[in-house]
Amino acid sequence: MKWIEFNPSFVENYYSRGIYPYISSLLRLLFGWIPFSFGDLIILLFSLYLIYIIYKIVSTRFINMLSKIFEITAFISIIYFLFYLLWGLNYFREPLNKNLKYKTTSYSDEELVDLTKYLVFKLNESHLMITKSDSLNVIVPHSNHDIYILAKEGYKKLADNNSLFTYKYLRAKNSLISVFQSYNGTSGYLNPFTGEAQVNRLIPKTILPTTTTHEMAHQIGFAAENEANFVGFLAALSNNDPYFKYSAYRMATRYAIFELYKRDKDSFEIIYKSLNQGILTDFKSSTDFWNSYKNPFEPMVKKGYNAYLKSNKQTNGINSYNYVVDLLISYFKTPHNKI
């Protein structure tokens, strides 16, 4: 793994663009047709088995403890191997900005202000196109199932221009553990062992399209969270459906405006007030949703996930999601993208 970490071109050419597309397609063919999340079922069964193992160790008063530790360690090593073989090596591929030939140098406050203003303008425009009134909230009429099917359309358009974004076979799924995901503060996840994109079915509908395209980006090999955010944004924006476009600008605006708040609170206040009232209502609804699931264990789960991300070459941990902003700035610097 140490050798792989320092050889991203090898990973890019022989794994991410070599064998991984075949692994990914095979997993989706094997498990994608199943109407429920098979990966979630495996997690539930594994959790029950783990409880049983702990019970057996305690009930036998730790007899043959050394042998049991060896067996557990051997099992974990197999899981570790399969994780990286089936998906995890994508963490060590070449950066997306290099593959797209973007120059993602440190951006100035002025560039961030310009991006945020533009995104707010496009979000307001997208919102009005749907609601016809700046005070109304966006109500997404699609079912979860329809959103998962529609999400593929954006990837088809992206793949016409760049084969990196090719998405084949089936779709995302509702997670069986959506309630648990809500309590630990997650919108979705990729199961690396089954290749399934699991989406929290309880999240607000306005963030469902970009959550879906984000998890689909993981499926096609973009492991880094900022890159999955960016690819998910592109896929939602490329979709002809107005609710996908709204969700794309909504997500991008949230990240840009959050960064602006940290850098320039005065500019943040001015730009934030220019958002349509219906969008602010949507933002509040989303915040209320997550607040309703707040619990004492969520910070511990996030600390664990933070450590996991850092161990996989994402030095900023959970904050890696926010680093989509430099990719957005690079993207909109290209004249034909800013329309």
CB contact at 8 A, 160 and 152: no
Q: Which is it for strands 173-174 and 196-199: parallel, antiparallel or unpaired?
A: parallel
Is residue 169, in this structure, part of any structural domain at all?
Answer: yes
Beta strand segments in the chain, E: 173-174, 188-191, 196-199
The answer to the question of residue 50 being in a domain is no
Q: What is the pLDDT of residue 54?
A: 81
- Rounded distance between C-alpha atoms, residue 67 and residue 75, angstroms: 12
Full 3-state SS string of 257-269: HHHHHHHCHHHHH
Is residue 84 a part of any domain in this protein?
no
pLDDT tens figures, 95-117? 999 998 887 778 889 999 999 99
Residue 321, pLDDT score: 66
Euclidean distance between CA atoms 195 and 88, whole angstroms: 11
**Which residues have CB under 8 Å from 235's CB, separation 6+?**
151, 154, 155, 158, 165, 213, 216, 217
- pLDDT tier at 69 (50, 70, 90 boundaries)? confident
Question: Mean pLDDT lowest for which of 166-175, 196-205, 327-336?
Answer: 327-336
| 317: confidence class by pLDDT, cuts 50, 70, 90 | low
- What is the C-alpha separation between 196 and 90, in angstroms, rounded? 16
Other Cβ atoms less than 10 A from the Cβ of 332: the count is: 18
Is residue 151 within 8 A of residue 219, CB to CB? The reply is no
Query: pLDDT digits over 208-253, tens only?
Result: 999 999 999 999 999 999 999 999 999 999 999 999 999 999 999 9
More confident residue, 218 or 335: 218
Q: 223 is written with which tokens?
A: 């492991």
Q: Write b or e for each residue in 301-330: b if 16 or more Cβ atoms lie within 10 A of its Cβ, otherwise e.
A: eeeebbeebeebebeebbebbbbbbbbbbb
Q: Would strands 188-191 and 196-199 be described as parallel, antiparallel, or unpaired?
A: antiparallel
Residue with tokens 């557990």: 72
Assign 189 to helix, strand or coil: strand
16 is a domain residue = no
Instruction: Specify the pLDDT at position 50.
Output: 83
pLDDT band at 170 (very low <50, low <70, confident <90, very high): confident
Amino acid 183: pLDDT: 94
Per residue in 66-81, is it b (16+ CB within 10 Å) or e — as a string?
eeeeeeeeeeeeeeee
Side-chain half-sphere of 161: how many Cα atoms within 13 Å? Answer: 8
The more confident residue out of 32 and 334 is 32
More confident residue, 290 or 300: 290
Q: Is residue 10 a part of any domain in this protein?
A: no
Structure tokens at 87: 């998906």
Q: What is the pTM of this model?
A: 0.92
**Domain-located, residue 237:** yes
Residue 67 belongs to a domain: no
Share in percent of the chain as helix, strand, coil (round to 5):
70, 5, 25
**CA gap 179, 336 in Å, rounded:** 42
Give the number of domains in the chain. 1
In a domain, 107, yes or no: yes
- Write phi, then psi, for 174 (nearest 5 degrees): -65, 140
**Mean predicted confidence (pLDDT) in 254-278:** 95
| Location of structure tokens 């997306």 | 96
Residue 142: give the domain boundaries: 96-337
pLDDT, residue 227, reads 94
